[in-house]
Chain A
Amino acid sequence: MGTTDRLLRVEDLKLHFRTWRGPVQAVDGVSFALDRGPATVVVGESGCGKSTLARAILRLLPRNVSAYTGNVWLNGTNIMTLNEERFRRQVRWVKMALVSQAAMNSLNPVIRVGDQVSEPLRVHGVSTNKKEALRQAEEVFRLVGVSADFLERFPFELSGGMRQRAVLAMALITHPDLVFLDEPTSALDVLTQTSIMNVLKGIKRDLGVTFVLITHDIATSSELADRAAVMYAGQLVEFSSAHHFFREPLHPYSQKLMASVPTLREDKKLEFIPGRPPSLLDPPTGCRFADRCSSRFGKCVEEPPFRDVGEDWWVKCWLHV
């Protein structure tokens, strides 16, 4: 898949969880590659494995992992082969950071925001000097549009939008190349969402940070997207430019997903996708979307390959091989 000079390359990544009902195949054979700069959005229905994909790449694993395989190259280094100590010192937070789904509500209530935001610097040994760390915190605060006085405050004194900016600042303080944002705006009001998207656009443009935005809010994701990855039942089904995804997606699931997104300015007929995604305990052996797909045919009982149809546009569907 592409050349090795890409920022991130993921090959056949799997992360399964052990449960009393059997293994949950939350991420099941995902491959894709990202260049430095363009932002990618990862979309798909709830439970399709979006958050798990980010955790698998950052190796943030719960206790009940039953399978964790595949390869992940970051700047040409296969980070799956690093031991935990080196992964922690050289990769996680240093080169790649994650703003997790509930981060803004899990700030420590009794520690000043400035100390929390600068913590990654101390933990990862980038800077041990407290004064220097706070100076850097001030700098990233400016970047995310929060005045430096907020460094002295406690999380409960901040509005939701301010807390979300603070956790974003925390992810950026170590100057990582790649930042995963898991539903960073879904708990926020529209105006707050928009100002945070403005901040992200600015950081992408001015600092060249590569973002991966995980969300089920497709309309808002278009504010940042240069590329789009569509997940379904633990797998990627389409990976393309944002233009192709929003205007002319190829996979029937991507098409249906787009048809369910309401538009404010245009009166289109909304459709919903009948049925539900399959259980990840026992997903279908062929195409996982087949039983909800109106274009299915005989071949769909076999698993389709994830193929490049040209222009770095990947589709997992028998209609496009």
Chain B
Amino acid sequence: MTEQALLSVRDLHTWYELRKWGFFRTGHVRALDGVTFDLRRGDAITIVGESGSGKTTLAKTLLGLVPPTKGEMVFAGERLDGKKKGKALAWLRANVGFVQQDPYGALPPFMTVERILSEPLAVHGVPRREQEARARAVMDEVRLTPQDDFVHKYPHMLSGGQQQRLVIARAIVLEPKLVVADEPVSMLDASVRVEILQLLRRIQKSHDLGVMYITHDLSTVRYFSEYVFVMYAAKIVERAPVHELIRHPLHPYTQALLTAISDPDPENAHIQKEVPPGEPPSLAHPPSGCRFHPRCKHRIAELCSTTEPTTFEPAPGHRVECWLYRQGGEG
């Protein structure tokens, strides 16, 4: 574990129990299956992966919303074990802001903007006089201005972009050290997406926040963070600085993902793109060996289907879990 890490995650597993008739255990969904990484204060990292790869599970495990099955999480020097209660949980909630996947579901429909922002302050014992000032200050930061136009509105009176800005305001109102943003822009128009991502970025820089940006859309990544982690089937399969990852993707899955992404170019209509066959595996019965091997055109006979790849670091700071890079030595 590095000294200055704000968040340090080691071999984290979160398995959901599968039950028949809500009672008999019939197996597990291995939604997170051995994830290790560090996040320093002031860094923005992106976790990118397809639907069902475990991104939200990672966020929820960090926030203490679902218990980890095994592994270790250390945040700001405190061990988190997923069983935190009372004061310790309140401390965690104050220090980790959460922007969840669906802004509509995230906002209580019967509360005004003002109450939505002052509620967390009240819960954490901020005196009433300061609550209003603090709420107005975060509204200014997320550009819900003039504040008087918004304080008495209910969520349904706001546009999608304004709702998402409100969710961000609530996530930073307690001045956390880390913000976990789970698909903060996936439901929004391209233009509003840009606005919200630029806003998050500005707040991240001005408050020296750690941000974990979770997305399935690699094309927005370069505008937001320095570092990318690629998830496939509950594991991080590749990690690298953004530009390095885009220019030299190493994992065959990352390569396929990058090939698939369209830039707005009229030439696209004249080419067929190569897509790996099949679909991501079931996490109740993941394949043996490398989880991508059934779809991989570079798989090495015998090896990839039987033995889980370890981590290789073919270039400094660029790590990949793939046997193709085994000559590079273990990282």
Contacts and interface: CB of A to CB of B under 8 A. Distances in A.
Contacts of B189: 45-46, 216
B198 A270 contact: yes
A243 interface: yes
Contact of B223 (A160, A161, A245, A270): A270
A218 to B, nearest CB: 5
Interface residues of A, number: 50
B154 to A, nearest CB: 17
A190 B50 contact: yes
Contacts of A46: 160, 189
Contacts of B198: 270, 272
A260 B219 CA distance: 12
Given A191-B50, A194-B275, A218 B264 contact: yes
B191 A262 contact: no
A264 B218 contact: yes
A83 interface: no
Contacts of A226: 269
Of the candidates B160, B218, B258, B264, the one having the most CB atoms from chain A within 10 angstroms of its own CB is B264
B279 A264 contact: no
A91 to B, nearest CB: 28
Which of A216, A256, A262, A263 counts the most B-chain CB atoms under 10 A from its CB? A262
A247 B264 CA distance: 9
A191 B257 contact: yes
A225 interface: yes
A219 interface: yes
A224 B270 CA distance: 8
Contacts of B246: 264-265
A262 B261 CA distance: 11
B273 A264 contact: no
Interface in B167-190: 189-190
A245 B269 CA distance: 13
B272 interface: yes
Interface in B230-264: 246, 256-258, 260-264
Nearest to B258: A264
A223 B261 CA distance: 10
Among B217, B222, B266, the one with the most A-chain Cβ atoms within 10 Å of its Cβ is B266
Most buried by B among A192, A241, A272: A272
B190 A225 contact: no
A191 B260 contact: yes
Contact of A222 (B51, B217, B265, B276): B265
B206 interface: no
Contacts of B258: 264
Contacts of B269: 39, 201, 222-226, 242
Interface of A: 39, 45-46, 159-161, 189-195, 197-198, 201-202, 216-226, 241-243, 245-247, 256-258, 260-267, 270-273, 276
Interface of B: 50-51, 159-161, 189-195, 198, 216-220, 222-223, 246, 256-258, 260-266, 268-269, 272-273, 275-276, 279
Given A219-B262, A260-B194, A271-B194, 5 more contacts: A45-B191, A190-B261, A194-B273, A219-B219, A224-B269
3 A-B pairs with least C-beta separation: A194-B260, A272-B195, A260-B191
14 contacts: A39-B269, A45-B189, A191-B276, A194-B262, A201-B269, A201-B272, A222-B264, A246-B265, A261-B264, A262-B220, A264-B218, A264-B246, A267-B222, A273-B191
